[in-house]
Structure 1
Amino acid sequence: MQTDFPINSTRKTKTIANDRIKGLQISHFLLYNMIPLVGFIIAMVSLWWFPIGPVEVGLLIGMWALTMTGLSVGCHRYFSHHAFKANEAVRVTLGILGSMAAQGSVISWVAVHRRHHECSDELGDPHSPNLHGNGILGMIRGVWHSHYGWLVNHEYPNPAFYALDLLRDKTIAKVNRYYVSWIILGLVIPAVLGGVLEASWIGAVKGFLWGGIVRMFLVDCLILSNNWILHIYGTRPFETGDQSRNNFWMAIPFLGESWHNNHHAFPTSASAGLKWWQIDLGYWIICVLEKFGWVWDVNVPSAKMIEAKLSKKTPSSVTVLDQTQS
């Protein structure tokens, strides 16, 4: 979502807004949002001459799974909310995989997300869809802002205020510094694998296109649609003071991030799915890592904590769906 912007203000300054930041936002948007969109269109057209095969499908799904894990388990649950502790190898791997998604360097991603939680659906929220007027036109404006508009039109949350812990972490600061290198690596890996597995240059091009560019576009769409779908459509079992919602249909592609109301109720929980039927692939990955002893101190709210939060729900929040869905 952001690039690795320079820190040029004091810790007391919550946001940074100047021409240089604006230019970097536009550059990041064009490079990592618009180019993948064009690449996706080219990939669709190329199917007429180069049908997609099992290698391309495997690279697309595999790279999607890796980069979404980097964002969901890494940038979100670990770096933003400290939902568990991890050894150095896991920390670095999650940071690199999250960076490959081209959604922003680790420290910038965390700063934006923590700002979102601080101001969720209120003035200052970088990407809320609910602050742009009433009615259909207000919703359209909100969805556009939440999906694409905010990327070039918001005050950049100051990492010195929102992510000082990561700025002081020498290992993660180094991972953060090589953000663009990790994006390139995320394009090179599927290209090399495609070329080797199909033993041709055409295989390399197709691997680059489907495991790299198309994967970037799809992950981009998933993460950005997360901003508005999960603040407009779905259920609200917890009163969180904002419009965060749970959405069953998006659970698998979002790796469990779609239990968004749960997350806003318990932001430091490693599990967003709080009931047995709430599929949370991100949490399952954390559980596997815990079994190997690579992560520990995994935070999950107790049944009492969940019940206590549910009991605080006000009568006005009984309606679980937006009127826009009726």
Structure 2
Amino acid sequence: MTAVPEMAPEAARRAPEPELDPEGTSKAQRVTVFFFVFVPLIALVAAVPFAWGWGLSWIDLAIGAVFYLVSGLGITVGFHRHFTHGSFKAKRPLRIALAVAGSLAIEGSVIKWVADHRRHHKYADAEGDPHSPWRFGDDWRSVAKGLFYAHMAWMFLSEEKTSPKRFTPDLLKDKDIVKVDRLFLPLVLFSLFAPAAIGGLATMSWWGAITAFFWASLIRVALLHHVTWSINSICHTIGEENFEVRDRSRNVWWLAIPSFGESWHNLHHADPTCARHGVLKGQIDISARIIWMFEKLGWATKVRWPNKERLEAKRVAA
């Protein structure tokens, strides 16, 4: 099942929209992605000696935790479950807030992120999937190469650019979301430099601003990036299969908490529009709990909670 909106009968008779943007990915776009991927990664590698020499304050941890929660849930609840799959309807203020929060993760603008993910579901682990770890083959060398490609390399090595007209026509018609999409760069700058400003003001020192920028901006972004990318790579390579799927999506329990429940990936591919991914006993799904809270507050409606009969029909025999 795919979350790509159905075409109207008259649209179906016309020539189909291209799967990829005919302009492809420009050199400037690849350089930009390369910068935002590797600068936080370098900071992550440098984190241990940095902490050993100068220390880490509770203020840095608090700022980083808040930004990790807001931006991470913006991706999982907003970009993924709401915008990509329509797992629930959101009131306008919440819808805009989720688009902004997800943008703070610096994983791409909302329309681009959703277009790539809808394309992933349409071609999961088959030709056309933008980031399958199985694209090079099944032997260990091919899988190792595929893991790196699926984890991060696809973003700056691939010259293919998913067509927003084909995969996100609904978002392109939403003026609020188009505006947030266009404001991606200012939101990136805010995500990077707001922690430094808060840290500097909290400590009334430039050093407080520098350490907050390092930990709550660079390290936080790098950590969230790699947790998110692990869903594309690790959760399509190893783990448990509890539900029948046509691809190689699996559940990886040790990623459940840092990914806010996204690593219960096997059920997600079995039932993509379900608002809860961790449906079995003991499967913690923080994103689903947040959606439940939104529903109780009246901010979210028409939530697609798990259907017991549908789940049992898809269960893999023990």
Partner of residue 284 from structure 2, selected from 279, 282, 296? 279
Deviations 1:178-219 (A, max 9, x none): 001111111222112211221211111111111111111111
Deviates more, 1:32-41 or 1:222-231: 32-41
Counterpart of 2:191?
186
Kept in 2: contact 1:246–1:258 (CA 8 A): yes
Query: Where do residues 282-293 of structure 1 align in structure 2 (5 Å cutoff)?
Result: 282-293=287-298
Distance, in Å, in 2 between the alignment partners of 1:100 and 1:86 is 19
- Deviation for aligned residue 1:30: 2.2
Q: Tell me, what secondary structure is at the counterpart of 1:33?
A: helix
Alignment partners' CA distance in 2, 1:89 and 1:261:
31
Alpha-carbon distance in structure 2 between the residues aligned to 1:289 and 1:199? 36
- For the residues of structure 2 that align with 1:24 and 1:163, how far apart are their CA atoms? 23
Consecutive unaligned residues in structure 2, runs of 5 or more: 1-14
Q: What amino acid sits opposite 1:104 in the alignment?
A: G
Partner of 2:89 in structure 1?
A: 85
What is the identity, as a one-letter code, of the residue corresponding to 2:133?
P
TM-score normalised per structure 1: 0.89
- How far does residue 90 in structure 1 lie from its aligned partner after superposition? 1.0
The superposition leaves residues 284-306 of structure 1 with CA deviations (integer Å, 9 ceiling, x where unpaired) of 11111112111111111211111
Q: 2:69 aligns with which of 65, 69, 72?
A: 65
Contact 2:91 2:300 survives alignment (8 Å): yes
For 2:28 and 2:168, the matched residues in 1 are separated by 19
DSSP-derived class of the 1:47 partner = helix
Q: After superposition, give the CA deviation of every residue in 1:218-239 in whole Å (9 maximum; x if it has no partner).
A: 1111111211110111111211
In the alignment, is residue 120 of structure 1 matched against residue 120 of structure 2? no
Measure the CA separation in 1 of the matches of 2:44 and 2:53: 15
1:107 aligns with 111
Q: Kindly tell me: are residues 230 and 76 of structure 1, through their superposed partners in 2, closer, same or farther at Cα, counting changes over 3 Å?
A: same
TM-score normalized by the length of structure 2? 0.91
Q: Which residue of 1 aligns with 2:101?
A: 97
**Aligned-pair RMSD on alpha carbons?**
1.7
Task: Tell me how far apart the structure 1 counterparts of residues 138 and 92 of structure 2 sit (CA, whole Å).
Answer: 47
188-197 or 89-98, which deviates more? 188-197
Identity of aligned residues (%): 36
How many pairs does the alignment contain? 303
CA distance in 2 between partners of 1:96 and 1:153 (Å) = 27
Partner in structure 2 of residue 132 of structure 1: 136
Higher mean Cα deviation, 93-102 or 43-52?
43-52
What is the one-letter code of the residue matched to 1:215?
R
Equivalent in 210, 221, 227 of residue 215 of structure 2: 210
Unaligned runs of 5+ in 1: 1-9, 320-326
Question: After superposition, what is the alpha-carbon deviation per residue over 1:237-263, rounded to whole angstroms, capped at 9, x for unaligned?
Answer: 211110000111111011000110100
Q: What code does the residue aligned with 1:125 have? A: D
Structure 1 counterpart of 2:203, which letter? E
**Which letter does structure 1 place at the counterpart of 2:41?**
L
Q: Which moved further from structure 2: 166-175 or 84-93?
A: 84-93
- Give structure 1 regions of 4+ aligned residues with deviation exceeding 3 angstroms: 41-45
* Aligned residue in 1 for 2:304: 299
